[in-house]
Amino acid sequence: MTDITITGMKIRREFGGFDRLVERLRLWRRRAQGRAQLARFDDRQLRDIGLSRAGQAWEVGKPFWLD
């Protein structure tokens, strides 16, 4: 349950399962976006973060639901 305060009124949400689903979908979207961004890194950017082209390919090739 989540308590939300709106203009001094407290509202209790009973959608715990739904909230978890929404958070999971957001996490998956962030992963997919991050991997898409990583796919566009050039050699200098990869060097800056200590990642090789092989490491880049490995990370970019992972499905969004895997950490």
pTM of the model: 0.71
Q: What are the sequence ranges of the domains in the chain? A: 2-61
Residue environment code for 20-47, b if the CB has 16+ CB neighbours within 10 A, otherwise e: eeeeeeeeeeebeeebeebeebeeeeee
Q: Which two tokens stand for residue 54?
A: 């092989």
Q: Give the length of the chain.
A: 67
Q: What is the pLDDT of residues 3-45, one digit of tens each?
A: 655 666 655 556 678 888 999 999 999 999 999 999 999 999 9
- SS3 at position 65: coil
